[in-house]
Amino acid sequence: MARKVAIYARVSTEHEAQISALENQVQYYDDILSRHADWTLVDRYIDEGITGTSIHKRESFMRMLKDAKEKKFDLIVTREVSRFARNTVDTLQQTRTLKTYGVEVWFTEDNIWTMNDEDGELRLSIMATLAQNESKKISQRVKAGQMISFKNGVLYGNGNILGYDRVGDKLVVNKEQADTVKRIFELYLAGNGVRKIQDIMEQEGRKTATGLTRWQSGNINRVLRNPFYCGRIVYRKQYVPDYLVQKKINNHGAVDKVYVEGSHEKLVSPEDFDRAQELREKHKSVKTDKNGKAIGQSPCKHLWGNKLVCTCGHAMNRRIAHKANDGTLSYIYQCYGQLRTGTPAGRLKKGLDIEGICDNSSFMEWKLEVQADFVFKKLLGNKDAIYKEAMAMAQDVAEVKAPERNDKERLEANNRQIEKLNRQLANLVDMCSEGDISREVFRSKKKKLEDQISNLEKLNDECRQRVLELEDNGAKDRRIESLSEFIKMTAFDARAKIPDTVIDNFVDQIVFDHGAFIWYLNPVFGNEVYKQDASDWKKKQHLQSLSDKCTLQACPSTGSNQRQQKNLSEITFSKEAIERANILAAFNIFVQLYKNDKITLEELRCVADKHNIEFNMSILNYT
Cα–Cα distance, 568 to 583 (Å, whole number): 23
**pLDDT band, very low/low/confident/very high, at 91 (cuts 50, 70, 90):** confident
**87 has pLDDT over 80:** no
**pLDDT band, very low/low/confident/very high, at 86 (cuts 50, 70, 90):** low
**210 has pLDDT over 80:** yes
The confidence score (pLDDT) of residue 404 equals: 46
The confidence score (pLDDT) of residue 146 equals: 66
pTM, entire model: 0.52
pLDDT in tens, 373-400: 777 776 777 788 888 888 888 777 766 5
**Low-confidence winner among 54-63, 96-105, 198-207 (lowest mean pLDDT):** 54-63
Over residues 363-380, the mean pLDDT reads: 81
pLDDT in tens, 1-20: 789 999 998 776 544 444 35
The confidence score (pLDDT) of residue 547 equals: 41
**Low-confidence winner among 244-248, 352-356, 520-524 (lowest mean pLDDT):** 244-248
Q: Parallel, antiparallel, or unpaired: how do β-strands 39-48 and 238-239 relate?
A: unpaired
pLDDT in tens, 228-268: 899 888 876 766 665 555 567 776 666 777 778 887 888 99
598 or 172, greater pLDDT = 172
446 or 500, greater pLDDT = 446
Longest CA span, the chain = 96
Answer yes or no: are the C-beta atoms of 595 and 620 closer than 8 Å. yes
**181 has pLDDT over 90:** yes
Most confidently modeled range among 79-83, 163-167, 246-250 = 163-167
**pLDDT band, very low/low/confident/very high, at 276 (cuts 50, 70, 90):** very high
**pLDDT band, very low/low/confident/very high, at 59 (cuts 50, 70, 90):** confident
**508 has pLDDT over 80:** yes
The confidence score (pLDDT) of residue 616 equals: 66
pLDDT in tens, 453-502: 988 988 888 877 766 665 555 555 666 676 777 777 777 776 677 777 78
Over residues 507-536, the mean pLDDT reads: 79
Q: Is the dihedral of CA 152, 157, 158, 161 positive or negative?
A: negative
pLDDT in tens, 526-582: 556 777 778 888 776 665 544 444 444 444 444 433 444 454 455 667 788 888 888
Q: Parallel, antiparallel, or unpaired: how do β-strands 164-167 and 529-533 relate?
A: unpaired
345 phi, psi to nearest 5 deg: -65, -45
**pLDDT band, very low/low/confident/very high, at 77 (cuts 50, 70, 90):** very high
The confidence score (pLDDT) of residue 249 equals: 73
Cα–Cα distance, 425 to 521 (Å, whole number): 64
The confidence score (pLDDT) of residue 4 equals: 93
**446 has pLDDT over 60:** yes
Count of other CB atoms within 10 angstroms of residue 423: 10
The confidence score (pLDDT) of residue 560 equals: 36
Percent above pLDDT 70 for the chain: 72
> 3-142, superfamily in CATH?
Resolvase, N-terminal catalytic domain (3.40.50.1390)
The confidence score (pLDDT) of residue 158 equals: 61
Average pLDDT, the chain: 77
The confidence score (pLDDT) of residue 559 equals: 40
**153 has pLDDT over 90:** no
Domain residue ranges of the chain, discontinuous segments joined by +: 3-142, 164-283, 401-477
Q: Of 590, 623, 573, 597, give the one whose Cα is nearest residue 491.
A: 590
DSSP string, 1-65: --EEEEEEEEE-TTTTTSS--HHHHHHHHHHHHHT-TTEEEEEEEEEES--SS-GGG-HHHHHHH
Amino acid at 259: Y
29 phi, psi to nearest 5 deg: -70, -35
Residues in the chain: 623
**137 has pLDDT over 50:** yes
Q: Parallel, antiparallel, or unpaired: how do β-strands 249-250 and 329-335 relate?
A: unpaired
Most confidently modeled range among 201-210, 428-437, 468-477, 560-569 = 201-210
Cα–Cα distance, 507 to 376 (Å, whole number): 11
> 164-283, superfamily in CATH?
Putative Large Serine Recombinase; Chain B, Domain 2 (3.90.1750.20)
Over residues 411-421, the mean pLDDT reads: 87
Cα–Cα distance, 542 to 363 (Å, whole number): 15
